[in-house]
Amino acid sequence: MARFIFVAGGVMSGIGKGVATASIGKILSARGFRVTAVKIDPYLNVDAGTMNPTEHGEVFVTEDGMECDQDVGNYERFLGVNLPRDNYITSGSIYQAVINRERNLGYEGRTVELIPHVPEEVMRRLHHAAAKAKADFVLVEIGGTVGEYQNTVFIEAARMMKMESPAGVLFVLVSYLPVPSVLGEMKTKPTQQAVRTMNSMGIQPDIILARSTHALDEPRKKKISVFCNVAARDVISAPDVHGLIYRIPLNFEKDGLGNRILEKFGIRKKANGKMKDWAAMVRRAERVATPIKIGIVGKYFGTGAFTLSDSYLSVIEAIKHAAWAEGRKPEITWLNSETYETDPRSIKELSKFDGIIIPGGFGSRGVDGKIRAIKYCREKKIPYLGLCYGLQLAVVEFARNVCKLKGAHTTEIDARTAHPVVHTLPEQLMNIQEKKMGGSMRLGAYICEFKKGTKAERAYGERMVSERHRHRYEVNNDYRDQLEKNGFIVSGLNPERNLVEIMELRGHPFFLGTQAHPELKSRPLHPHPLFRAFIKAAKK
């Protein structure tokens, strides 16, 4: 029987609830339990694919092609598993399912109501995710904070599940304790209020994770305990970790969280034997001192709710994983490609970096600057890794400047280019024309077969691999011969559909682009081979 641990937020959002959820999962899986994690987003969007990453952070993609919240990526990185599409729930997808069922007479003539039918659909989805993973524990993170109208039906679903199985459900509140600068001390009142709000919804938290800039002291632990009706040992300190999120499970264990959870469920304790590798990885990450400078070239996006590090979370984590494994301390700089358009001479700044990455992207802004950056890396032999758009634009640059195909472009930017070196497949053209944009890109895992003797093959050390995709455009096969004749070779191909997966430049220390998003599969304990090869080249 699966046990459910609901994680809700108090006081404010953006305090690392996803990483906290992932960390709880990690400490349970390190004890040998089978753990899965589900993210609930209270948006009406059916998936995250239609949301701008500056609004909502990175769009993560699962093996089976679900476009979801970046927290699903955190779960995968911490748990070291691939999660299925079932593990991402939005209000939109729940309402859609309820309405579809109603249209199909699935409610057999009854009145369909917000309560209980919507929470019932949520419960069905959660039980399904549990069964599919054969999980001992299911972590369920409810987006937003308690007290919002938006996530009420999900809190309600959690309450109903507790009623259904009192011994099988636990509630964790991730709350925030501010330290106002005028006072210089940690305040517990907002947390008390968050608990009261939860209580009014019929839920008493079993465990409180106290997020703050600093560790919780004993007097405050006691205060939260008394006012929030939670034993002091169930109030867990969760101080800032200054970038090294992988330390959090270790901190939680230091505060006894794993044992407490098992005790509460009445489960006999198991040692956390599988935490050793993880702890060693964290120590290595903390110890590496020799810097490696990586520049990420992209378009600048102002000051939205989400920072660049949120919008490119997996890329940044993949760089870190590979750098640590290679004994380097990653120094990542965001470079605004538009400055290479307005001030072409500033391109020289790229020579200060050990390696350059152009990550995934959409649309025309900053594209000319990216193409200039690619040209510079190609000519000055700076290690270059292109991810999706980063491959497509490398093809454009090479076609124009080496193959001398004047005006070559991707049809995403110039639909009438004389040389559509990157274009859409017919089925994608139909989607665009019919405005069927949600969930209709080439999404999820596709296999890639290598050409023998290439850098890509050597990096992976396998004959065939599978990587996750999220794009509408492809390298145009009509131009492959010309590109290859001039030295930009196709080193990986999708054999089922004869599509370019990876290309690399002959005679360059490392100039490689992939149509996929390898960053999505990098794990702290298993750095991605392409990122590792890139960092290796950058070290030189």
CB 223 within 8 A of CB 229: no
The distance of closest approach from Cβ of residue 118 to ligand GLN in the complex, given in angstroms and rounded to an integer, is 33
Burial 244-275 (b: 16+ CB within 10 A, else e): ebbbbbbbbbebebbebbbeebeeeeeebeeb
Please, which residue, 355 or 360, has the CB nearer to ligand GLN?
Answer: 360
Q: List, by residue number, the catalytic residues.
A: 388, 517, 519
Strands 464-471, 442-450: parallel, antiparallel or unpaired by DSSP?
A: antiparallel
State how far the Cα of 294 lies from the Cα of 331, in Å rounded to an integer. 6
The distance of closest approach from Cβ of residue 387 to ligand GLN in the complex, given in angstroms and rounded to an integer, is 7
Please, which residue, 9 or 53, has the CB nearer to ligand GLN?
Answer: 53
State how far the Cα of 490 lies from the Cα of 481, in Å rounded to an integer. 10
For binding to ligand GLN (CB under 6 A), which residues are involved? 360-362, 388-389, 392, 412, 470-473
Using DSSP, state whether 83 is helix, strand or coil.
coil
What are the Cα distances from residue 285, in Å, to 251, 278, 280, 487, 502?
A: 16, 11, 9, 37, 30
| Tokens (6 digits) for 468 | 């996750």
Neighbours of 54 (CB within 10 A): 16
Among all chains, which residue has been given the structure tokens 């919507």? 118
CB 316 within 8 A of CB 277: no
The distance of closest approach from Cβ of residue 403 to ligand GLN in the complex, given in angstroms and rounded to an integer, is 21
Please, which residue, 255 or 412, has the CB nearer to ligand GLN?
Answer: 412
Strands 488-494, 442-450: parallel, antiparallel or unpaired by DSSP?
A: antiparallel
What are the Cα distances from residue 523, in Å, to 86, 118, 286, 532?
A: 21, 35, 17, 12
Please, which residue, 220 or 468, has the CB nearer to ligand GLN?
Answer: 468
What are the Cα distances from residue 386, in Å, to 295, 296, 412, 488?
A: 12, 10, 17, 13
| Tokens (6 digits) for 145 | 């904070």
E-only strand ranges, 84-182: 88-90, 137-145, 169-176
**Rg of the chain on CA atoms, in Å:** 25
The distance of closest approach from Cβ of residue 503 to ligand GLN in the complex, given in angstroms and rounded to an integer, is 14
Please, which residue, 209 or 388, has the CB nearer to ligand GLN?
Answer: 388
The distance of closest approach from Cβ of residue 360 to ligand GLN in the complex, given in angstroms and rounded to an integer, is 3
The distance of closest approach from Cβ of residue 495 to ligand GLN in the complex, given in angstroms and rounded to an integer, is 20
State how far the Cα of 530 lies from the Cα of 88, in Å rounded to an integer. 28
Please, which residue, 139 or 395, has the CB nearer to ligand GLN?
Answer: 395
Phi, psi of 297 (to 5 degrees): -100, 120
Please, which residue, 137 or 446, has the CB nearer to ligand GLN?
Answer: 446
The distance of closest approach from Cβ of residue 439 to ligand GLN in the complex, given in angstroms and rounded to an integer, is 14
The distance of closest approach from Cβ of residue 344 to ligand GLN in the complex, given in angstroms and rounded to an integer, is 24
Please, which residue, 227 or 300, has the CB nearer to ligand GLN?
Answer: 300
CB 249 within 8 A of CB 139: no
